[in-house]
Amino acid sequence: MKFTTTAILTALYSSVSYTSTAWTTTSSIRSMSNTNLRMSTTEETTASSNVYTFAKSEEIFAEAQTLMPGGVSSPVRAFKSVGGNPVVFDRVKGAYAWDVDGNQYIDYVGTWGPAIIGHADDAVLDSIKATMDKGTSFGAPCALENELAKMVIAAVPSVDMVRFCNSGTEACMGMIRLCRAYTNREKVIKFEGCYHGHADSFLVQAGSGVATLGLPDSPGVPKSATAATLCAEYNNLESVKTILEENKDEIAAIILEPVVGNSGFIRPTPEFLQGLRDLATENGAVLVFDEVMTGFRVSYGGAQEYFGVTPDITTMGKVIGGGLPVGAYGGKKEIMELVAPAGPMYQAGTLSGNPLAMTAGIETLKRLSAPGVHKELERMSQMLVDGVIAAGKKHGHAMCGGTAGGMFGWYFCEGPVYNFADASANSDLEKFGKWHRLMLERGVYLAPSQYEAGFMSMTHTEEDIQKTIAIADEVLGLLAAE
């Protein structure tokens, strides 16, 4: 029995629109397709790979859907935009993840960025265990906060003082209030496709999960909450100038991802960041780099160090928590001293600065600060992106992509992609969905959305990269044969 690739892919992807109630049907179609794909691969290509099956994941996820909205604790994890159900993880180590069916993956999601030194690093785990013996939360000052604060202040050019909180969303909520308090202005400029967490005022053209789900804005966000949020186009200084002219002396802040990771991966043009720096200064607005994703990832000092442009305020998260919940915002002393209790701008948190997260962050940064780490991360990221794009071109696919330190991405379009409009107008999302599933079934775990970046870790090896490229070659060949 031999199925054509097209028939297999049609069967495979006709299953993705099934809802939770039909999961067994979906599951059986997929496992039939998996078998067929394995046969097809063995017969038609030399680079055959074992194609995974996901019976236990399917079972657990079916139950999860009855217990939690969409079966997940954060939307993108549900794989809605790529089709099929997510795999359920059992454990992670280094560059790898294992699901509950025992399938092993080369992981390029890295728990969405924090796992830059590799998952479950022994030194980090040992330190967390040692701290845990003293308790899990103090709700009182602890010396570990000073230690992590000193590391952050030493590394990030814009940061003289820092406030720790529990997530990137919280950091951005504190940051926007601080910008408004400092300038005594209300309006802010953000950029289409940039994500700054799920606070009401940022859920405008917000990229990431919001774009993935086709929800440019979310119901439940009062109009009044977003009325002061003005959207400009990324890499387009003119669009910023226009807003500044139309809202003279009213803009509190210009807020952006200095490298976009929430519309897929987009680098700023050389003149864009410096242009924003100049415009913010000229207009009395605070320039904010949201480095929740890029901080300590594109270089040790973040995107501001990588590109040599210093904002007034920086938000952080992910890497500085070493895999535990953390967020932070920091900036010039004169601005940060407005934050309570030093100043009147209120922001607080029961678990903020908790000893476990501080410990994981400290140990992670110690490892990450070794010389040459980020150069190596970029070399590996570039090797991966070049290899995958070359495989795509070989099989006749339009593809483009890029890297910055340990962050990377590619689109199924010719490119270049300068902003969210380019990404959403040109990239082939259907192809991305198929690509994602076929890579997953062969042991490569990629972000389940075209609108997310990829993350390299210190534990990925050249062998992992070459294996990923070989699998990509096979998958892109299958897609070309459709």
Ligand X SMILES: Cc1ncc(COP(=O)(O)O)c(C=O)c1O
168 contacts ligand X (rule: CB under 6 A): yes
From the CB of 461, what's the least distance to ligand X, in Å? 26
297 contacts ligand X (rule: CB under 6 A): no
Q: Select the residue whose beta carbon is closest to ligand X and give its number.
A: 168
CA distance linking residue 312 with residue 430, whole number of Å: 40
From the CB of 224, what's the least distance to ligand X, in Å? 22
437 contacts ligand X (rule: CB under 6 A): no
Contact indicator for 225, 201 with CB cutoff of 8 Å: yes
CA distance linking residue 205 with residue 190, whole number of Å: 9
Contact indicator for 104, 91 with CB cutoff of 8 Å: no
195 contacts ligand X (rule: CB under 6 A): yes
192 contacts ligand X (rule: CB under 6 A): no
From the CB of 114, what's the least distance to ligand X, in Å? 9
Helix (H) or strand (E) segment spanning residue 404: strand 400-404
**Beta partners for residue 119, in sequence order:** 94
Amino acid symbol at 93: K
From the CB of 291, what's the least distance to ligand X, in Å? 7
88 contacts ligand X (rule: CB under 6 A): no
Q: Is residue 290 annotated as part of the catalytic site, yes or no?
A: yes
Q: Is residue 318 annotated as part of the catalytic site, yes or no?
A: yes
Q: Which of these ranges, 178-186, 267-275, 288-296, 466-474, lies near ligand X under the rule CB under 6 A?
A: 288-296
From the CB of 14, what's the least distance to ligand X, in Å? 32
Q: Is residue 394 annotated as part of the catalytic site, yes or no?
A: no
- Nearer to ligand X by Cβ, of 168 and 311: the residue is 168
Chain position carrying tokens 């226009």: 242
293 contacts ligand X (rule: CB under 6 A): yes
Residues 326-355 that bind ligand X (CB under 6 A): 327
CA distance linking residue 191 with residue 197, whole number of Å: 13
Q: Which of these ranges, 176-184, 228-236, 256-264, 386-394, lies near ligand X under the rule CB under 6 A?
A: 256-264
**Beta partners for residue 106, in sequence order:** 96, 444
CA distance linking residue 438 with residue 461, whole number of Å: 22
From the CB of 429, what's the least distance to ligand X, in Å? 20
> Pairing between strand 187-191 and 251-256?
parallel
Task: Quickly list DSSP for 214-276.
Answer: T-SB-TT--HHHHTTEEEE-TT-HHHHHHHHHHTTTTEEEEEE-SSB-SSS-BPPPHHHHHHH
Contact indicator for 460, 380 with CB cutoff of 8 Å: yes
- Nearer to ligand X by Cβ, of 15 and 166: the residue is 166
CA distance linking residue 178 with residue 163, whole number of Å: 11
CA distance linking residue 81 with residue 433, whole number of Å: 7
Helix (H) or strand (E) segment spanning residue 104: strand 104-107
Q: Is the peptide bond before 416 cis (omega within 30 degrees of 0)?
A: yes
From the CB of 227, what's the least distance to ligand X, in Å? 21
Number of neighbours of residue 51 by Cβ within 10 angstroms: 21
Q: Which of 99, 121, 290, 464 is catalytic?
A: 290
- Nearer to ligand X by Cβ, of 192 and 464: the residue is 192
Q: Which of these ranges, 1-9, 285-293, 304-312, 392-400, lies near ligand X under the rule CB under 6 A?
A: 285-293
Identify which of 354, 351, 359, 330 has the alpha carbon closest to the alpha carbon of residue 163.
330
Q: Which of these ranges, 176-184, 190-198, 212-220, 360-368, lies near ligand X under the rule CB under 6 A?
A: 190-198
Per-residue mark of binding to ligand X, 208-247 (x: CB under 6 A): ----------------------------------------
User: Looking at 58, 145, 257, 422, which residue binds ligand X (CB under 6 A)?
Assistant: 257
Q: Which of these ranges, 100-108, 192-200, 221-229, 235-243, lies near ligand X under the rule CB under 6 A?
A: 192-200
CA distance linking residue 227 with residue 217, whole number of Å: 12
Q: Which of 13, 105, 195, 451 is catalytic?
A: 195
Number of neighbours of residue 189 by Cβ within 10 angstroms: 25
Amino acid symbol at 110: G
From the CB of 315, what's the least distance to ligand X, in Å? 6
Main-chain phi, psi angles of 163, to 5 degrees = -120, 125
User: Looking at 84, 94, 118, 197, which residue binds ligand X (CB under 6 A)?
Assistant: 197
Binding site for ligand X (CB under 6 A): 112, 167-169, 172, 195-197, 257, 261-262, 290, 292-293, 317, 327
Task: Indicate which residues carry an active-site annotation.
Answer: 195, 290, 318
